């Protein structure tokens, strides 16, 4: 089961750095959010093992690469190719107190306890780095940048998704109705198949959009784009 709820980095090295910060900062908040002293110590031990296991794995990969290179040189290298030496000895790391497996599963459960505590607030969350990136979004300033053109003679509206879930697109067909809702799109490329009205061969339609997070519109409307549409004659 994944323990990454948005605040936890994905790369192993970044997760180890995150856990080190969490273990250091936890002591200052523990009593306020219901974490016992022995739990603080447990997280500190987890952080030491996480860092040790990462460093040991990196050393093992480096040593293996050097040893394979040395073997290849010995087997197939050129004679008289200059001075050579054996690969450097494997560095010896000090082993911390061994802990049980599942370090980031444990810390994930603790983070949830902290967030559920009545004394928890965003200031604590930021200090412990347990606030997901999208929670820190300034939704008020989110604004789509849209572009457009023609796709097989049909209006094509393009937009970049970014942190949004989707976009509400509005169209003004110059029929006196102004901008009206056209579609909610999450694919980043939308083709408008609306036919030209009878008796019209060319029209200029305008489009704009606004981002949505889940089911709510957020931020500002995009720039407005104009697309010229021409009726196609079947042959």
Could you read off the pLDDT of 81-130 as tens digits, one per residue? Answer: 678 889 988 889 999 999 999 999 999 999 999 999 999 998 999 999 99
Length of the chain: 235
Greater pLDDT, 17 or 135: 17
| CA gap 123, 131 in Å, rounded | 10
pLDDT of residue 14: 93
Q: In terms of Cα–Cα distance, which of 57, 91, 58, 88 is closest to 70? A: 88
| CA gap 150, 74 in Å, rounded | 63
Cβ–Cβ under 8 Å, residues 212 and 183: no
For range 8-35, the mean pLDDT? 94
pTM as predicted = 0.55
For 120-162, the three-class secondary structure string (H helix, E strand, C coil) is CCHHHHHHHCCCCHHHHCCHHHCCCCEEEEEECCEEEEEECCC
Q: pLDDT grade, residue 1 (50/70/90)?
A: very low
């Amino acid at each position: 089961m994944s323990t990454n709820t948005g605040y936890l980095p994905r790369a192993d090295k970044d997760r180890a750095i995150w856990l080190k910060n969490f273990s250091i900062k936890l002591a200052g908040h523990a009593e306020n959010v219901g974490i016992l002293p022995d739990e603080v110590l447990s997280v500190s031990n987890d952080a030491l093992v996480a860092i040790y296991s990462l460093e040991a794995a990196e050393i093992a990969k480096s040593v293996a690469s050097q040893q394979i290179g040395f073997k290849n040189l010995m087997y197939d290298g050129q004679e008289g190719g200059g001075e050579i030496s054996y690969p450097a000895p494997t560095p010896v790391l000090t082993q911390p107190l061994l802990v049980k497996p599942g370090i980031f599963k444990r810390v994930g459960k603790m983070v949830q306890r902290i967030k559920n505590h009545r004394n928890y607030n965003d200031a604590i969350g930021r200090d412990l780095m347990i606030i997901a990136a999208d929670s820190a979004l300034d939704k008020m300033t989110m604004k789509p940048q849209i572009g457009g053109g023609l796709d097989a003679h049909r209006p094509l509206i393009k937009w970049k998704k970014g942190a949004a879930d989707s976009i509400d697109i509005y169209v003004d067909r110059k029929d006196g109705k102004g901008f009206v809702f056209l579609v909610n799109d999450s694919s980043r490329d939308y083709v408008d198949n609306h036919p030209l009205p009878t008796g019209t061969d060319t029209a200029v339609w305008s489009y704009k959009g606004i981002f949505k997070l889940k089911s709510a519109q957020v931020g500002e409307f995009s720039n407005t784009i104009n697309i010229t549409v021409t009726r196609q004659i079947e042959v």
